[in-house]
Amino acid sequence: MERITAHDGASIVLHSTGAGPGIVVVHGGGITIDVYRRLAQRLADRFTVHLYNRRGRADAAPRAQPYTFDQDIDDLAAVLKHTGTRNVIGQSSGGFIALQAAVRLPIDRLALYDIAIDIDGGFPTAWLDEARQAARDGDIARAMAITDAGINTHNPATRLPLRVRVALVRAFLRTPIGRTMADLLPMTLDETNQIRLRGGPAEAWSGVSADVLLAYGAAGPPYYADLNGKLARALPRARVLPIPRSGHDGLNRAPSRIIEPIAAFFGAPVSPERANQL
């Protein structure tokens, strides 16, 4: 662990592991770097993996208000400069931050998993205002139930009556990950609102010159397939990779069917032993 200095003078706590070419991970909303430990371990024999918590987490500085993604992009710039790394992995809203950063920062290779991006209204946000109001009212369980149903459109449980979903969320809040997601939910909703505000045509991202791998969980929300397809057609150097039997948390779980294509994308050869695990 080491501390580096952000553009505004705040400290960024950097956790690095492994050996080889560097990769910086930009985590998604509602979580911390803790859920990416397995990802880092699975890549550490071929890469140096750099993890850092985005603003508002326990070992990170507070977020600027009103919130925009600019501070996140500045922090990523500081991490890339310090590590000398030009390889980035981003998930969900972290993927959207990384994509924005690729417009202005020296990023050579960018792997995005379930990137949260609104192209032509394809990312669901109709639920957002109701969820933000519930959070402002202090009813985090209700806000989380509304958010879950709004995003996980493929899950039959999201069609249960709201009172049932709220009861299920209250049970989830007794778990460590549930408490973390609840604590971070207002920030997650702020991020989703920023994604909504930046919605538009895929061609808006045509200035990204990095090689881009657009991966998504084929067992997750179905809208990611359409969003990634549109984005890939607009980017000059991009390809889409559906990951079978994986949901939105696939990158956290880090099975070989995700790790090996990502490692190959960043230049690592796949051994016959690993190929047999895919």
Residue 34 CB contacts under 8 Å (≥ 6 apart), including other chains: none
Residue-wise DSSP of 43-66: HTTT-EEEEEPPTTSTTSPPPPSS
The mean pLDDT of 262-278, rounded to a whole number, is 70
pLDDT in tens, 14-45: 999 999 999 999 999 999 999 999 999 999 99
CA dihedral 127, 115, 199, 69 (to 10 degrees): 100
Please determine, for residue 278, whether its predicted confidence score (pLDDT) is greater than 80: no
Residue-wise DSSP of 132-145: HHHHHTT-HHHHHH
pTM: 0.95
